Amino acid sequence: MKSTIKLLALVIIVISAISCKNDRKPNYQFFPNMYESHGYEPYSEHKVFKGGQEAMLPVEGTISRGWMPYEFENNTEGYNLAKDTLKNPLAYNEENLEKGKELYTIYCGICHGAKGKGKGDLVKREKILGVPSYDSREITEGSIYHVMYYGINSMGSYAAQTSEHERWQIVQYVEKLKADLEGRTPRLDSNAPVVAVEEAVHDEAHATEGHAEENHKEEAHH
Amino acid sequence: MEQVKNRNSVSRILILGIAFLLTFSMPAVAQDAPAGDAAKGKELFNSLCAACHKRYKKSTGPALFGVTDRRDTEWIYSWVKNSKAMIDAGDADAIAIFEEYKKTPMNAFPQLSNTDIDNIIAYVMEPKATPSTGVTPGGDQAQQVEGTVISNELILGALAFILLLLISILVLVNKTLKNIAKANGVELPEDKEGHKPLWKAFVDNQFLVIVSSILLLLVSAYFAYGYLMQVGVDQGYQPIQPIHYSHRIHAGDNKIDCKYCHSSARVSKTSGIPSLNVCMNCHKSISEVAETTATADHSKEFYDGEIQKLYNAVGWDPSSQSYTGETKPVKWVRIHNLPDFAYFNHSQHVSVAGVKCQQCHGPIEEMEVVYQHAPLTMGWCINCHRETNVKVEGNEYYEKIHKELSKKYGVDKLTAAQMGGLECGKCHY
């Protein structure tokens, strides 16, 4: 009888040890001081910040590295001005087109469709409606960039997800799609001088991302 | 499950009531609306108007249901074709609506004929469909699922009951037999005196003792090793997030690219938690899920509530379609977390190597609630570095070194390990 009780106790101990595994909680760590960072990690919580939140907007009056101020205002006048005067600083070459296509597929194609006809997956599934085809709207390189930067009507801003350089690459691809839809030959500069946006913009894409991170949870950056 | 049941009964009454009311309202609406083809109108509405207008809800522009009650048809014709001209001409109604919607100009649609506009009006004047069609099949499904669960439990219970019955019958039969034997005076064979107990026999047999103790040691060493090796490994970790964001719906059903939201995975060390403005790119116009999105586990009401949590956090007022400025940070719970002594860079793997997100994160597009798929141990990292070939084409800068390395190892394709992917200092410094 005694041995039965002992056996039962053993079984209970083993079961309780096994059942400690709980997927809702992280596992035990061996020497946690080697695991937890002393430096501030992205999105971590620290008392020095307001509300403990590390992800913040840039201080007013400052800009992140690689983030250039955009001089056109977010209203109809700004839109029209950008439409008429803003030009793509990048060369229209195959390389930018290829990169533009890749980014377009990630960020735009989901609604605007692979061909720019406004028939992306979300439109087909009737989640988002009323996406116009590029050939039914009067758009220029300036207005495409402006709309990507601020968003328009139901479309949101993509300034937080892309860098200035990347947005101009997307502009080239959108212009190509529009030309294809209208049956024109898309613009391609043969040996135009490369007046690239400061290479820094590309290299500092990380810093731009920093901006996006700082936008985190603060507000929808309009 | 019970909730669904309750809702079903209440909603059934509601639906009946609404259906009853609708029998009266339908002819009245039909009389008001101009004769148009709603099916054609739907097509036009979805492609031209739906960017800014919804039928029953305010969006960038006003809700269009009931528009013929507010304005006469001629006014609508001229407004749709060129709203700016009407505002410039000083039409009081036109100016009022322009002012009300923050002076957002409406695109002119001169290409639409009056018949087209009639069709659109016919579509927008359709009364809101009652959820009757959606709820009933959903409820049935839930009941069916419930039914299978119950029947499974029932079968198991019945089996257990039969087993118990058999055991008790055996015991009873044994007892009865013994009683009969006693009554008939039959001597039952007793245990012999001096019979060794089993444990004593075991202890006396030294060989058996040695073998079983070795076996016991080996087994416990095996389990102890297994237990110690999983310390600090969070495979399967699945915390509850403050907002129930379903990757299954977004990345799976709607096929949104991972990098749409986790945009910094392309260019930085961290993959990035999207800021809520990224959510609002779509959820500005998607304030509730479709009936078909709901599953047996999560109802439409549940998902709509989660979208409402997003609105509360980002400070979006759906009724006025504007931001209130009152934001509440969302405390997402981090799942994948490498220890501080290991360096990992997302952009190097995502952009340079072109590794698919699913390689490390598993079938994210099927996860309703995300869990850690990979163990994220060093052995796991190293294994992949040993097996993965590096894409060296189109990289003139390193052409020479790639050639020399290929020659050194005598291979056509270099693996990450052969390029130094196993050196300690690559990840630990």
- Report pTM: 0.70
Per-range mean pLDDT, top range of B150-154, B241-245, B392-396: B241-245
**CB < 8 Å from B in window 26-45 of A:** 26-30, 34-39, 42-43
> Contact A148/A88 with Cβ under 8 angstroms?
no
Nearest to A53 by CA among A43, A62, A63, A61: A43
pLDDT tens digits, residue range B368-383? Answer: 999 999 999 999 999 9
> Contact B316/B323 with Cβ under 8 angstroms?
yes
pLDDT tens digits, residue range B5-42? Answer: 444 555 566 555 555 555 544 444 444 445 677 777 87
Provide the pLDDT for residue B287.
86
pLDDT tens digits, residue range B52-63? Answer: 787 777 777 788
Q: In the CATH scheme, what is the code of domain B38-124?
A: 1.10.760.10
Most B-contacting residue of A45, A65, A77, A217 (CB-CB within 10 A), to test interface? A217
Looking up tokens 């609630």 gives B369
**CB < 8 Å from A in window 48-67 of B:** 48-53, 59-60
Provide the pLDDT for residue B267.
92
| Chain A residues touching residue B236 (CB < 8 angstroms) | 23
| Sign of the dihedral defined by the CA atoms of residues B258, B260, B262, B267, in that order | positive
**B216 interfacial to chain A (CB closer than 8 Å):** no
> Contact B242/B331 with Cβ under 8 angstroms?
yes
pLDDT tens digits, residue range A48-57? Answer: 888 888 888 8
Provide the pLDDT for residue A145.
93
- Residue contact B339–A34, C-beta within 8 A: yes
Size of interface A-B (CB pairs under 8 A): 181
Per-range mean pLDDT, top range of B61-65, B126-130, B192-196: B61-65
Burial of A3 (0-12, 13-18, 19+ CB in 10 A): exposed
What percentage of residues in chain A have a pLDDT greater than 70?
80
Provide the pLDDT for residue B21.
52
- Residue contact A34–B270, C-beta within 8 A: no
Is the predicted pLDDT of residue B149 greater than 50, yes or no? yes
Give the residue on A whose Cα is nearest the Cα of B262. Answer: A161
How many beta carbons lie within 10 A of that of residue B363, not counting itself?
Answer: 12
Q: For residue A62, what are its two tokens?
A: 């400052």
C-alpha Rg value of chain A to the nearest Å: 26
Provide the pLDDT for residue B374.
92
Q: How far does the CA of residue B306 sit from the closest CA of chain A (Å)?
A: 16
> Contact A150/A74 with Cβ under 8 angstroms?
yes
Least reliable range by pLDDT among A1-10, A105-114, A174-183, B11-20: B11-20
pLDDT tens digits, residue range B218-277? Answer: 999 999 999 998 888 888 899 999 999 999 999 999 999 999 999 999 999 999 899 899
pLDDT tens digits, residue range A99-119? Answer: 999 999 999 999 999 988 888
Q: What is the mean pLDDT of residues B137-163?
A: 71
C-alpha distances in Å from residue B313, one per residue of B289, B317, B325 = 18, 11, 10
Provide the pLDDT for residue B182.
86
Q: What is the mean pLDDT of residues A124-147?
A: 87
- Residue contact A206–B267, C-beta within 8 A: yes
Give the residue on B whose Cα is nearest the Cα of A151. Answer: B281
Is the predicted pLDDT of residue A133 greater than 80, yes or no? yes
Boundaries of every domain in chain B: 38-124, 144-192, 196-231, 247-427
Is the predicted pLDDT of residue B165 greater than 80, yes or no? yes
- Residue contact B325–A26, C-beta within 8 A: no
pLDDT tens digits, residue range A88-97? Answer: 888 888 889 9
Mean pLDDT, rounded, of chain B: 82
> Contact B272/B392 with Cβ under 8 angstroms?
no
| B278: nearest CB among A35, A39, A161 | A161
Q: What is the mean pLDDT of residues B341-348?
A: 91
**A114 interfacial to chain B (CB closer than 8 Å):** no
| Chain B residues touching residue A210 (CB < 8 angstroms) | 268
| Chain B residues touching residue A106 (CB < 8 angstroms) | 257, 259-260, 263
Q: What is the mean pLDDT of residues B317-324?
A: 86
Provide the pLDDT for residue B216.
96
**A190 interfacial to chain B (CB closer than 8 Å):** no
Provide the pLDDT for residue B20.
53
Provide the pLDDT for residue B207.
92
> Contact B234/A26 with Cβ under 8 angstroms?
yes
Alpha carbon distance B362, B369 (integer Å) = 12
| Chain A residues touching residue B350 (CB < 8 angstroms) | none
Provide the pLDDT for residue B310.
93
Least reliable range by pLDDT among A37-51, A74-88, B150-164: A37-51
